[in-house]
Structures are given as C-alpha cells and as structure tokens.
Structure 1
Amino acid sequence: MEQQTSKHEKVKQHLQKEITGGYYEGGDKLPSEQRLCDYFDVSRVTVRHALQNLENDGLIYRKQGVGAFVSNQTYKSNLVRLTDFSEDMRKAGLESSSRLIDLKKVDPIKEVNKILDIRPDMKLIRVDRVRLGSGKPVAFDITWLPPGYGQLLFDEDLTTQTIYNVIEEKYEIPIIAGSYRFTAVKADEYVAEHLNLDPGDALFEIDRCSRTTGDKKVYFQKRYYNPEYVSYVMELSRKEDSEEASSKDGLPLKTFSPKFAK
C-alpha cells in the first residue's frame, strides 16, 4: 500500500512542478488521464487521486467530460486536502498503526443509514479501531459502511492498512470528497477504556462522511481524538487593499491540518 501511495504523490509532485514552474499557463489543458497513466505507468485511480489533490490545492480545475485545466495564478482554493490517518501520521513524523477492536455486521441505525443514503432497513458493517501514533493511542474510530463496501474489509489486515487504502488503492474506488463536523465531547466508558482515559475526560470528535464518484457515500466515521496529542491549525490568506480581503465570504481557507504531539 505504501508503494501505491508514493506513486500518486510522485505524479502530483511532477505535475505540480510543471504547473508552478511555468511549463503551463492558466487555462492550459493537462494531458488526458489515459496519457498520464501511460506516461507514469500507473493505474487510473492513482492519476485521479493525484489530480484530486492538485485540485484541492487550487492548482487545477476540472470540467466533467472535458478534462483538467491549469488554474489562473489568482485562483484561490477554499478546500482543504482530504487525508487519512496514515498520511497525517507520516507528515507528523510518527509511525501509524491500528488495533482492531471489532469488525462485524450490525443492525441498521436510523441516523447512520440516513447519512449513508441507504435503505433504513439495511444492515451495516461496523469497524472499531484504536489508532496509534508510534505506539501511543492517539484516537479511537467507529466507522460504519454500507454492506457493499464493508464486505471488502473482512479479509484485510486493518492493523496496518487504513480503510481509505483498502477501498481506494486495492479496489480502485476513489475517495474524492468528504464532509467534516468537529465537536468537543466527553469520553464514555467504552472509548475512554481504549484511549487510557477516564470516563468524562474531554475528547475532540470528528464526524466524517466520505464519498466516491456519483456522490455515493462510502463510509461514515466518528473519530475521537485525545486532545493531549492533537490540535488543528488553520491558515487563512488575506491581501491588503484587495477584493479578496473585502470579500463577503471572508478569508479564503488555505490549510486546515492536524498537528500532533510526539
């Protein structure tokens, strides 16, 4: 899985260098996905992942059925790159791993089924994991998937692989978007036990729903971070005396990323 991840990073870095180095001008069309696949000798999902990252960074924009185009230099993206736990840990210089607590089929949950846009009577696949950063219990995840996606996980080693890796890299189902909700909560007994905390201790909860093409929901996840180890840092962009600075939409969001204590 690490090899596949490095491939899409390699494609992204190559294209980013060409875009920022002046090889392309604003509005220029990038080579087709198939040409990029042939040139880099990678799969289509790897190319799409790289292009999605470039789009999130504001360097390109895409037109459905037409292709990818280089953004004008004045273009500012208000999107934040979608990452998974292993990517966050790697950036923080920590080794990621997981301790699988449970993987099973469960009865429908009205709220979760609604979020996943599946029938209210459809059973779910639930995955409970402790997420480790260099051996420390950094977070606890509870993830629900529709059975069509969840069944793909039963033969996988989820202690060393992420759901993101399995779904996207092995089965070539691209995770192209996600919605987040951030909340401060108190740990219940179940979560507190696995994070070596006391019930009632403060946690940072992130509810995340990830989507693939066609706006299909792949999974809904509740992640409980131990605030001792993680904080989120926001960087905004503002230019004095510019239209951007006075925009009614506020300051464009450049980055919103987790910072981990080692």
Structure 2
Amino acid sequence: MRETAPSGAQGGDDGPWVSSRPRAERARQLADVLRHRITSGAYDGGVLPGERELGAHLGASRNAVREALALLRNEGLITRKQGVGTTVVLPKYGHGLDRLAGLAETLTGHGAVTNEVRAAHPVPAPPAAIVERLGLAPGEGAVHVERLRRLGGLPLSLDTTYLTADIGLPLLGCDLAHRDLFALIEETSGQRLGRAEVSVHAVTADPDTAALLGVEAGAAVFAIERLTHLADGRPVDAESLHIRADRLALHATLHRGPAPTKSR
C-alpha cells in the first residue's frame, strides 16, 4: 500500500516537491513517517530501500527523502555508507503500555533478556518518597532491588525497585538474574498483580546512568515511574526505570470513552 506524503505536499521522485511549507518542515514530516516505519519493523533486516524507491513509495522527491534521512542519521537512528546503503543502527523493540507485563515477557522472541543484579537487600529506613508511594507505616522497612537489564548482550534499561517487605523478602532467594519480578512476585506470594500507574518522562542521562546504559552523558532516555498493586489494590512495587530511547519504542492501544468528570 502506497503511503501518502505529508499534507500540503505533492510530487514524486521525477518531479519537484511542491509545497507552501518551509523546506525544513517538509523534511521533518517525512522523517516522522520514516521513523515510524523503522521503529515498527517495516524494513527487513534493518536495511532501508534506496532514496529513489523511498521517494516513489512516499510520493516525495529524492532531495526531500535525502534531507529526511539526514535528520534520522543525526538522531542516531540510521547510518549511511557508500556501497552499503542506509541501515538501522540498532533495532527498536516495542513495549506496550496497555498491559501489565515484565520486560522479558514483553520482548519474547526478540532475544535473551539478562539482568545484572546490582543491589538486592532489605532497607530498614526507605526514602520518604518510597514510604509514601507504598503506603508504609512509620518504621516499616522495604526491599531494594536494582538491575541493569540487557537484551542481546547490549544494555537496555536500569531498573530501581522498592518492594514492601512481605513481598520483597521472599524474592531475595530467587533467580533475579534471569526472571521478571512480576512473575516472581505472583509465584512467591500466591497473589495476582492487578494494576499499575505509569508515568513516562523524557530526561537526559546523568553520567553514571549513561555509563551503565552505554550511551553518552546527556543522551535522551525514557524515565518511567511505575507503581504496581496487587489484585486487592495494595501497592507493593515502586519502580523507577531508565530505558535507552534508541532501543525501545513505547506504544499503547487507546480507546475513546466518556470524558472524565472533573472533581469540584
């Protein structure tokens, strides 16, 4: 199926790209189309067609395609080499936000997810923010787990987790290097997880996080705050995840419903 070029533009590889929009804006719009196709796995083996073929498919001039590819190369998404062509630097994997699932479960079929366990121990006096998020009583302890997660041997995310003591202590004797915490929580507690509140931010990686994730300091990463509850509603797992934005694309299926009622 032929994709349409961005609105306000027309033409093809053999004719001029006619548009009232600024040249830079046209390139950015084309880059958006190509970025979506790349991150959704549209190009087998991570190799893009040539400029002429892309232009014909998108209804864009070859010059416009070249400028859009230059933007994606500057983002670090693709590389372009004479005699090799245009290739994706690293594959991006989709992680859905509309289902409560662990990383290894989500990425089944994309390679082995392994974990470097950097911390796993009880915390007698957790940070005040964690006490509040987990609804801990004064003086109540928690369990801290931090793991550097890799996919196919390359760093993917740094996960910092605090769990309520009754849920977290049994996990300390489990295989935290090869298992998702969600599955382990349900196995050891005999209780089902119910829901999670998730907040996603784009942040720049501090030097320590950047070194662990294998990116440059200041690189863009996803920062995800997630609070997971048991099926009975009790919060038991507060997580802060830093994920390489060049390796993971977040997606969700959203359904339109009635607008929420504003509280007075």
Residue correspondence of structure 1 range 1-262 to structure 2 within 5 A: 80-90=98-108, 93-106=110-123, 107-236=125-254, 248-249=258-259
**What CA distance in whole angstroms lies between the structure 1 residues aligned with 2:229 and 2:258?**
29
8 Å Cα contact 1:127/1:143 also seen in 2: yes
SS for the counterpart of 2:193 is: coil
8 Å Cα contact 2:98/2:253 also seen in 1: no
**What CA distance in whole angstroms lies between the structure 2 residues aligned with 1:211 and 1:248?**
25
Structure 1 residue 230: Cα displacement? 0.6
Structure 1 residue 81: Cα displacement? 1.9
SS for the counterpart of 1:150 is: helix
* Percent identity for Structure 1 against Structure 2: 22
1:206-254: per-residue Cα shift (whole Å, max 9, x none)? 11111113211111001111001011234446xxxxxx7xx6539xxxx
SS for the counterpart of 1:215 is: coil
User: Structure 1: any 5+ residue segments left out of the alignment?
Assistant: 1-78, 238-243, 251-262
**What CA distance in whole angstroms lies between the structure 1 residues aligned with 2:186 and 2:102?**
11
TM-score (norm 2): 0.57
8 Å Cα contact 2:229/2:237 also seen in 1: yes
**What CA distance in whole angstroms lies between the structure 1 residues aligned with 2:191 and 2:254?**
32
What count of residue pairs does the alignment treat as equivalent?
163
8 Å Cα contact 1:145/1:218 also seen in 2: yes
SS for the counterpart of 1:178 is: strand
Q: Greater Rg, structure 1 or structure 2?
A: 2
4+ residue runs of structure 1 moved beyond 6 angstroms?
none
SS for the counterpart of 2:106 is: helix
8 Å Cα contact 1:178/1:211 also seen in 2: yes
Letter matched to residue 182 of structure 2 = Y
**What CA distance in whole angstroms lies between the structure 1 residues aligned with 2:258 and 2:135?**
33
TM-score (norm 1): 0.57
1:113-165: per-residue Cα shift (whole Å, max 9, x none)? 11101124322211110111121111110000111111011111111111111
**What CA distance in whole angstroms lies between the structure 1 residues aligned with 2:258 and 2:126?**
42
8 Å Cα contact 1:114/1:120 also seen in 2: no
8 Å Cα contact 2:228/2:237 also seen in 1: yes
**What CA distance in whole angstroms lies between the structure 2 residues aligned with 1:177 and 1:195?**
28
8 Å Cα contact 1:108/1:120 also seen in 2: no
1:5-48: per-residue Cα shift (whole Å, max 9, x none)? xxxxxxxxxxxxxxxxxxxxxxxxxxxxxxxxxxxxxxxxxxxx
**What CA distance in whole angstroms lies between the structure 1 residues aligned with 2:99 and 2:206?**
31
8 Å Cα contact 2:170/2:188 also seen in 1: no
**What CA distance in whole angstroms lies between the structure 1 residues aligned with 2:148 and 2:235?**
23
1:92-113: per-residue Cα shift (whole Å, max 9, x none)? x222221111112232211111
User: Structure 2: any 5+ residue segments left out of the alignment?
Assistant: 1-96
SS for the counterpart of 2:121 is: strand
Structure 1 residue 82: Cα displacement? 1.2
Letter matched to residue 148 of structure 1 = D
8 Å Cα contact 2:161/2:240 also seen in 1: yes
1:162-203: per-residue Cα shift (whole Å, max 9, x none)? 111111134322111111001111222332221112332211
